[in-house]
């Protein structure tokens, strides 16, 4: 139950993508998301999908992982697909049973939405799978730094994010432990009606929250003890530096964008 | 409830880069009324092993048997197994969740579907068993209690299910010396009342003092098993896998190395004292 959440899970590796500057990866992901919305035809989506699969293959991360990460949002994908399929009434009619009308336009829109969602999730997963949480927040902080001029708390937000990410696996483990302990006391999380199951979560959630607060307090103390006082004047041991690889990555992203736009123009299919 | 484990292997997250073999070909049997110690270094597979003993970890058919029931077989009533094999995890005080101590201890019996009067009776008995005064703590919030008291309440929560076998994972972890002594007295009391006890620990002194039989785990395999005296004979090899032998056994071995007549099978401080006295007496007798 708790094992198929790959959010924030980092796979150590030494591929081209792993070694990229986190800022590059963040910007490239944002660019990729934009490109997914630029694509207007199947050829465009195919190109992006090929690119994403190529990236995934180059990192050495098994495709199984990316697919597993899709599971939690499968419902949303199917839901939007069905919604688009049934409620788009323009275009040539394909099927007509009772009040259900499926048009070629509807089918097209529905498939596009599903393809977009899948590509969005997979590409953002690729980011978290190849970037350690610390590098990720460092990258975010660096990218948002310019906004500090307008009092945007870039450092604080980055710190909050890194703490949150850092504690996801810890809290998962803890939830698993508490679940086992309550099961050992005869608790039943698997069967029963929805209400019964919701009630069965109370013995899990209360200790989990108590634990989270305890950990938060300990962490705050530990940070205090090491003289943490926010971002002002803080230096870092590892400075982020753009390198040759980052330029290559930027060029590749530009080529991808150009390719998708070209395919849109050509209107292949 | 006799427990039988036949060649148990457990792999965490198989087929992923995080794949880890926690247990490899572990076989053991636990008889009624025994006091068993499971010792091993951190990460040796102790916790995984005990999770198998009451079906919290899923095992293959034909591997783990409790009272003859195969826990791996589909349709085995695991809830019934968990009722007879009680499991107290490490730092059990972090599992408390109810508003009052009495309600928390009643969680297990409630899940068994017992009637209110029986539940009340069991809560009272369990609290007394762990040395708490029911009248005093029943209506308190478990979060008001001290660390040691919380742990007792958590153990009472398992005892209230009246298991015939009780498994405890590091019951004395994080307690001060007085707290440890009290905890071990309490566990000894539970064992004396007829419950089979399995205690996980990494302290040889503790298991040596209490247990009838030991299983030493190393990297997911049983390295040694037998009575404490048998296990402690492997002092240097135990050292090599990051474990120690009780102080008494060490002293006896060093005296033996120095040429004194010390029996092979002593490890309790009292026994070593007695042997030293016997040696001194013998020496003075020679002079006479």
Count: domains in chain A: 2
Say whether both B93 and B120 belong to one domain.
yes
Co-location of A218 and A261 in the same domain: no
Q: How far is B195 from chain A (nearest CA, A)?
A: 17
Binary contact (B97, A206; C-beta < 8 A) = yes
* Residue A124 banded pLDDT, cuts 50, 70, 90: confident
Chain A residues within 8 A of B89 when measuring between CB atoms:
177, 180-181, 184
Q: How many Å apart are CA A136 and CA A131, to the nearest integer?
A: 6
Q: Do B107 and A187 touch (CB under 8 A)?
A: yes
For the question of whether the overall pTM of this predicted structure is more than 0.80, the answer is no
In angstroms and rounded to an integer, the radius of gyration of the C-alpha atoms of chain B is 21
DSSP string, B123-138: HHHHHHHTT--HHHHT
Distance CA A203, CA A175 (A): 10
Query: What is the rounded average pLDDT for all residues in chain A?
Result: 84
Chain B: closest CA distance from residue A97 (Å): 44
Query: Does one domain contain both B218 and B252?
Result: no
Q: Provide the 10 A C-beta neighbour count for residue A24.
A: 21
Sign of the dihedral through C-alpha B107, B110, B116, B122: negative
**Triad A69, A72, A75: Cα angle to 5°:** 130
Please tell me which of the candidates B82, B98, B161 has its beta carbon nearest to residue A183. B82
- CB neighbour burial string for A26-63, b if at least 16 within 10 angstroms, e if fewer: bbbbebbeebbebbebbbbbebbbebbeebbeebebee
Kindly identify which residue of chain B lies nearest to residue A209, measuring between CA atoms. B97
CB atoms A186 and B92 under 8 Å: no
| Structure-block tokens of residue A112 | 């596009």
Q: What is the pLDDT of residue A6?
A: 47
Q: Are residues A59 and A191 in the same domain?
A: no
Provide CB contacts within 8 A for A188, sequence distance 6+: A200, B79, B111
Domain that holds residue B284: 246-288
Q: Span A57-72, mean pLDDT?
A: 80
Show the tokens assigned to A219: 């962490």
A126 and A244 housed in the same domain: yes
What is the per-residue pLDDT for B85?
Answer: 93
Residue A212 has what pLDDT?
92
| One domain, residues B226 and B251 | no
Q: Name the region of B265 (left: φ>0; alpha: ψ -120 to 50; beta: rest).
A: alpha
- In terms of domains, do B44 and B123 share one? yes
Per the CB < 8 A criterion, the answer to whether A25 and A139 are in contact is yes
ipTM field? 0.83
Confidence band, pLDDT 50/70/90 cuts, at residue A221: very high
Please answer yes or no on whether B112 and A186 come within 8 Å at the CB atom: yes
Q: What confidence score (pLDDT) does residue B285 get?
A: 65
Shared-domain flag, residues B149 and B265: no
Residue A148 located in a structural domain: no
Quickly state the pLDDT bin for A4 (edges 50, 70, 90). very low
Does the distance separating the beta carbons of B97 and A203 come in below 8 Å? Answer: yes
Same domain, A163 and A244: no
Query: Which residues in chain A have their CB less than 8 angstroms from residue B82's CB?
Result: 183-186
Type and span of the H or E element at A209:
helix A202-225
pLDDT tens, residue order, chain B (288 aa): 789 999 899 988 777 667 788 899 999 999 999 999 999 888 888 989 999 998 888 888 889 999 888 988 887 788 888 889 999 999 998 888 899 999 999 999 998 889 999 999 999 999 999 999 999 999 999 989 988 899 999 999 999 999 999 999 999 988 888 989 999 999 999 999 999 999 998 888 888 889 999 999 998 999 999 999 889 888 888 888 888 888 888 888 889 888 888 888 888 888 888 889 988 887 766 655
Same domain, residue pair A123 and A249:
yes
Q: Which residue of A has its CA nearest to B51?
A: A180
**Confidence at A269, pLDDT banded by 50, 70, 90:** low
Does residue A105 surpass a pLDDT of 90?
A: no
Q: Is residue A140 part of a domain?
A: no
Output DSSP code: residue B40.
Answer: E
Q: What is the pLDDT of residue B193?
A: 92
Nearest chain B alpha carbon to A11: B17
- CATH code where residue B146 lies: 3.40.50.300
Q: Using a CB-CB distance cutoff of 8 angstroms, which residues of chain B are in contact with residue A178?
A: 94-95
The answer to whether residues A221 and A260 belong to one domain is no
Q: Domains in chain B: how many in total?
A: 2
* Contacts by residues B202-205 (CB-CB < 8 Å, ≥ 24 positions apart): B202/B39, B202/B40, B202/B41, B202/B42, B202/B170, B202/B243, B203/B39, B203/B172, B204/B39, B204/B232, B204/B238, B204/B243, B204/B244, B204/B245, B204/B246, B204/B249, B205/B246, B205/B247
* Structural domain includes residue A13: yes
Residue A81 covered by a domain: yes
Q: Same domain for B138 and B93?
A: yes
- The residue of chain A nearest to residue B108, with distances taken between CA atoms, is A185
A191 and A211 share one domain: yes
Would you call A186 and B143 a contact, using CB atoms and an 8 Å cutoff? no
- B83 in the same domain as B8: yes
Total H helices, total E strands in chain A: 11, 2
Other C-beta atoms closer than 10 Å to the C-beta of B239 total: 11
Residue B241 falls inside a structural domain: no
Please check whether residues A13 and A102 belong to one and the same domain: yes
Q: Is the pLDDT of residue A29 over 60?
A: yes
- Indicate whether B273 and B220 sit together in one domain: no
DSSP-assigned beta bridge partners for residue B222:
B217
Residue B237 lies in a domain: no
Angle between helical axes of A202-225 and A154-184 (0-180°, round to 10) = 140
Interface test with B, best of A129, A186, A191 (most B CBs within 10 A): A186
Q: pLDDT: is A126 or A101 the higher one?
A: A126
- Please name the residue of chain B whose CA is at the shortest distance from the CA of residue A210: B94
Q: Do B56 and A210 touch (CB under 8 A)?
A: no
Residue B239 forms part of a structural domain: no
Q: What is the pLDDT of residue B205?
A: 84
Residues B52 and B91 in one domain: yes
Give a yes or no: residue B48 inside a domain.
Answer: yes
Range of the domain at A187: 153-234
Same domain, B202 and B267: no
Shared domain for A125 and A174, answered yes or no, is no
SS (H, E, C) B185-239: HHHHHHHHCCCEEEEEECCHHHHHHHCCEEEEEECCEEEEEECHHHHHCCHHHHH
Residue A100 φ/ψ region, left for φ over 0, alpha for ψ in the -120 to 50 degree band, beta for the rest = beta
Q: B85-88 and B165-169: which strand pairing?
A: parallel
Is residue A183 in a domain?
Answer: yes
Q: What are phi and psi of B139, to 5 degrees?
A: -95, 5
Q: Say if residue A2's pLDDT is above 50.
A: no
Most A CBs within 10 Å, among B97, B123, B151, B163, to test the A interface: B97
Tell if the CB–CB gap between A185 and B94 is shorter than 8 Å.
no
Does residue B191 share a domain with residue B169? yes
Contact yes or no for A185 and B51 at CB 8 A:
no
CB contact under 8 A, B108 and A11: no
User: Does A142 map to a domain?
Assistant: no
Same-domain status, A7 and A106 = yes
From chain A, the residues in CB contact with B112 under 8 A are: 186
Asked if A167 and A213 count as a contact pair (C-beta separation under 8 A), the reply is no
Looking at the complex, report in whole angstroms how far the Cα of residue B160 sits from the nearest Cα belonging to chain A: 9
Inter-chain residue contact A186 with B82, CB threshold 8 Å: yes
Q: What is the pLDDT of residue B17?
A: 67
Neighbours of B280 (CB within 10 A): 11
Query: pLDDT at position A223, please?
Result: 92
Quote the minimal CA–CA distance from B251 to chain A in Å. Answer: 40
Query: Is position A143 within any domain?
Result: no
Does residue A268 sit in the same domain as residue A160? no
Q: How high is the pLDDT of residue B139?
A: 93
Whether residues A89 and A218 fall in one domain: no
Residue B12 within any structural domain of the chain: yes
Q: Please determine, for residue A32, whether its predicted confidence score (pLDDT) is greater than 90.
A: yes
Model pLDDT for residues A12-21, shown as the tens digit of each residue: 888 888 888 9
Task: Flag whether B108 is in a domain.
Answer: yes
- pLDDT score of B129: 92
Quote the distance between the C-alpha of residue B271 and its chain's center.
Answer: 24
* Residue A96 located in a structural domain: yes
Answer yes or no: do B56 and A180 touch at CB < 8 A: yes
Q: Which of B16, B83, B88 sits opposite A186 (nearest CB)?
A: B83
Instruction: Please indicate, yes or no, whether residues B126 and B22 belong to a single structural domain of this protein.
Output: yes
Predicted confidence at residue B198, as pLDDT, reads 95
């Amino acid at each position: 139950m708790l094992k198929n959440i790959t959010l924030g899970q980092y796979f150590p590796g030494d591929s081209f993508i792993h070694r990229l500057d986190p800022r590059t990866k963040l910007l490239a992901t944002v660019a990729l998301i934009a490109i997914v919305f630029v694509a207007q035809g199947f050829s465009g989506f195919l190109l992006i999908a090929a690119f994403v699969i190529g990236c995934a293959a180059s990192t050495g991360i098994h495709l199984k992982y990316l697919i597993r990460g899709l599971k939690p949002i499968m419902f949303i994908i199917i839901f939007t697909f069905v919604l688009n399929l049934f409620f788009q009434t323009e275009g040539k009619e394909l099927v007509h049973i009772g009040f259900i009308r499926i048009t070629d336009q509807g089918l097209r829109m529905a498939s596009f939405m599903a393809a977009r969602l899948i590509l969005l999730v997979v590409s953002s997963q690729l980011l978290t799978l190849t970037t350690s949480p610390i590098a990720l927040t460092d990258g975010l902080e660096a990218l948002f730094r310019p906004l500090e001029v307008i009092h945007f708390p870039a450092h604080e937000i980055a710190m909050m994010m890194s703490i949150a990410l850092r504690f996801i696996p810890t809290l998962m483990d803890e939830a698993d432990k508490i679940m086992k302990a309550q099961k050992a006391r005869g608790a039943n999380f698997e069967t029963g009606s929805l209400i019964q199951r919701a009630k069965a979560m109370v013995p899990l959630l209360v200790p989990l929250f108590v634990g989270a607060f305890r950990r938060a307090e300990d962490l705050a103390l530990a940070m205090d003890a090491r003289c943490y006082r926010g971002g002002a004047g803080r230096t870092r041991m590892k400075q982020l530096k753009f390198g040759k690889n980052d330029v290559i990555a930027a060029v590749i992203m530009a080529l991808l964008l150009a390719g998708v736009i070209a395919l849109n123009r050509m209107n292949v299919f | 409830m006799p427990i039988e484990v036949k060649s148990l292997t457990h792999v965490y997250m198989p087929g992923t880069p995080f794949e880890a073999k926690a247990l490899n070909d572990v076989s053991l049997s636990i008889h009624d009324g025994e006091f068993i110690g499971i010792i091993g270094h951190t990460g040796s597979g102790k916790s995984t092993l005990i999770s198998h003993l009451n079906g919290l970890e899923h095992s293959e058919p034909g591997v783990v048997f409790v009272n003859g029931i195969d826990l791996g077989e589909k349709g085995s009533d695991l809830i019934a197994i968990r009722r007879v094999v009680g499991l107290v995890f490490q730092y059990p005080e972090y599992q408390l969740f109810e508003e009052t101590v009495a309600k928390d201890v009643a969680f297990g019996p409630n899940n068994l579907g017992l009637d209110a009067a029986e539940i009340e009776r069991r809560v009272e008995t369990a609290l007394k068993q762990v040395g708490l005064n029911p009248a005093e703590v029943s209506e308190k919030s478990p979060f008001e209690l001290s660390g040691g008291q919380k742990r007792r309440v958590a153990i009472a929560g398992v005892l209230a299910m009246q298991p015939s076998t009780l498994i405890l994972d590091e019951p004395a972890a994080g307690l001060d010396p007085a707290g440890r002594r009290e905890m071990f007295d309490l566990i000894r009391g539970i064992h004396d009342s007829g419950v089979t006890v399995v205690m996980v620990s990494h302290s040889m002194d503790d298991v040596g003092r209490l247990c009838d039989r030991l299983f030493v785990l190393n990297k997911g395999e049983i390295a040694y098993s037998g009575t404490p005296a048998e296990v402690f004979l492997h002092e240097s090899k135990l050292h090599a896998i990051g474990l120690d032998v009780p102080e008494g056994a060490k002293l006896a071995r060093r005296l033996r190395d120095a040429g004194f007549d010390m029996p092979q099978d002593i490890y309790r401080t009292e026994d070593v004292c007695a042997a030293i006295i016997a040696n001194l007496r013998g020496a003075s007798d020679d002079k006479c």
